Structure 1
Amino acid sequence: MKIKLDIKSNAIDSFNEALAKLESAQNGDDKGYKFTILHLSHAIELVLKMYLQSLDENLVFSKCYKKVRNRAAEKKIDLLTAYYELESEEFDFESEVAGHDNPFTVNVSDVLAIAKHETCSVTGNKFVDQDFIDDIEWMKGIRNTIEHFQFEFTVKEVRLCIGRLVRGLDEFSDVFSLFDLEKEVGKQCYDTFKVLSDEYEHSLVEAHMDVREAKKALFRGTRPKHQMFIEWNEYYCEKCNNETIIPDIDSSTGYKCTFCGNEESGQIEVNCDVCSLPWANEEMSYWDEHLVNVCPRCENPDAW
């Protein structure tokens, strides 16, 4: 049996596999991040080559790309302009690879060097954001390190970059009418895609992951019977309306929201200056400079 995959099918398969590995990583499989990077990098590379093929199907081959690069250098113009000049002259790119069974193809940086010059004819704005290019180059560097050397990376940094790349890839494939990425995502990975493709939802998921990871780190190595003595509180953030305020030693209040960075909350407990018991600071009364925080019990003992 023979299996034949075109460049689009290959790209979508790699993209879905990247999402599956990301889900696995978020469920505790640390190796999943490594394979997410590898599969997502491969998917991005193929989608970029699809863009190049939308200009000319032979432009993905190094021999043809070299003709564009030489014209750009000769005329001192950008690569996209050089390509359109050759196209207007009806340059035969196909003849450059005729007779070659397996010609070499361009790399990601080559494609981006052309795509970055694509602009909207109405607004003049660039279609390919520089941040998207930087993220691709950054992840490409990590992928190369994974493939050839020992590697080390910050998981959160990788997760955030993955989200930006998914959103960038979704926009890129739409802008250049390559395909609708949302419709191509497998059903089993659709929920993960929807989170990543929405910047707010992705940031919120990351904030809750930060809460879980911080708590896990605090309790790590402590016996269950001793964990009750560890102070851990999660508070509601009035600024972003999320339960994401947790202890933070660098905060002026001792707490910080993992989503919006807010350090204030009426729910944060402080000790009463009279009885020394903890109460929510929003319930405290101010008496004088010596009794700044007075709890309801001490302020009105008869009511208790």
Structure 2
Amino acid sequence: MSFTKRWIEEDGPKVQAPASHKLDLHENALDSFNEALTRFKEGTGGNVKAYKFAIQHLSHSIELLFKSHIAQMHPLLIYKNPFTAKPLDREMTIGLWDAVQFLKNSGDPIGKDFEADLLWLKKLRNEIEHSRFDMDVATVRATMGRLVEAIKDFHDHFDDDLSAFVTKGNLPLFEELSDEYRRSLGEARAKAAASTQDGETHDCEFCGERDTGARIDGEVKCQYCGESNYTVDCLRCGADELVSDATLWNDEDGRSDYLCSSCYAHYQSLVAAD
């Protein structure tokens, strides 16, 4: 038994919890999933605006799946501050990343690929909610495929029966999107391994995929999403490092100087000791 579950059962306050919450969450996740595929079909039929809602519904489905799993530990854990003396506010529930962190902190390991997908999903949802939605059809299909694969990863991780979640009518599209994603990702990783000039593959700082970046002529180019992360020379030691890992030190007089992560850490230690 995990520490979290033992603490709740032995030491936690005895608060009345809704017994049906786990079932409701799973059913709502299924509804969101089916609605996502319906919207996706509308998009392929010519209603381009439906693609945005397809992605939103599918990402919401993943969030509800995580909450459903947490509710198995204790139904009240999906609420914020559930064990305070104040009356429980059932409108205040945890978000997707709260659920992810809760599982990690309770000792439930999450695979690196799965965690990379979740970090990417967090960024994607923020962009959709706060920016103008702008995706071409190919990008939408790739995004849906990655979300579908994340749902498969979820069921694999928690040993849940995927067939109980995907309805028979939606299974062909589900598998089609998943197959497209895995094939594209596999091709990108193979291309990165074959073309990199430093003998290593790299993770992409933009799409979050692992081992899809190839270092070519001073930059790391993702063979999956096509974005590039260039390298810069450290002002202090001269080592080259990805600009995403380096720290901008000076950008005056039309030039940009950087410190590598090691030199910047050394600088911070000197400041702290002063």
Partner residue of 1:169 out of 143, 146, 151? 151
Deviation at 1:162, TM superposition (A): 1.7
Letter in 2 for 1:142: E
Contact kept, 8 Å, 1:41 with 1:143, in 2: the verdict is: no
Larger radius of gyration: 1
Contact kept, 8 Å, 2:142 with 2:181, in 1: the verdict is: no
Structure 2 counterpart of 1:142: 127
Superposed, which structure 2 residues align to 1:1-304 within 5 Å?
A: 6-64=24-82, 93=83, 96=84, 99-100=87-88, 102-116=90-104, 126=111, 129-145=114-130, 150-177=132-159, 179-199=160-180, 203=184
2 CA distance for matches of 1:127 and 1:60?
24
CA distances 1:11-69 after superposition (whole Å, capped 9, x unpaired): 101101111211221232212201101211221111111122233221111103xxxxx
Deviation at 1:103, TM superposition (A): 4.5
1 CA distance for matches of 2:48 and 2:149?
23
Contact kept, 8 Å, 1:18 with 1:40, in 2: the verdict is: yes
Letter in 2 for 1:187: K
Q: TM-score, length-normalised on structure 2?
A: 0.51
Where 1:130 maps in the other structure, the secondary structure is helix
1 CA distance for matches of 2:172 and 2:95?
31
CA distances 1:165-214 after superposition (whole Å, capped 9, x unpaired): 2111122133224x42333223332210111233567649xxxxxxxxxx
2 CA distance for matches of 1:46 and 1:138?
18
Contact kept, 8 Å, 2:117 with 2:150, in 1: the verdict is: yes
CA distances 1:83-116 after superposition (whole Å, capped 9, x unpaired): xxxxxxxxxx4xx377436351111121122334
Where 1:185 maps in the other structure, the secondary structure is coil
Give RMSD over aligned pairs.
3.4
2 CA distance for matches of 1:105 and 1:125?
22
Letter in 1 for 2:150: G
Specify whether residues 125 and 6 from structure 1 end up closer, same or farther in structure 2 by C-alpha distance, changes over 3 A only: closer
Identity among equivalent pairs (%)? 33
Q: TM-score, length-normalised on structure 1?
A: 0.47
2 CA distance for matches of 1:44 and 1:192?
17
Contact kept, 8 Å, 1:135 with 1:161, in 2: the verdict is: no
2 CA distance for matches of 1:50 and 1:195?
26
Q: 5+ unaligned residues in a row in structure 1: which ranges? A: 65-92, 205-258, 260-304
Structure 2 counterpart of 1:293: none
1 CA distance for matches of 2:28 and 2:110?
31
2 CA distance for matches of 1:23 and 1:110?
31
Q: 5+ unaligned residues in a row in structure 2: which ranges? A: 1-20, 186-223, 225-274
Where 1:198 maps in the other structure, the secondary structure is helix
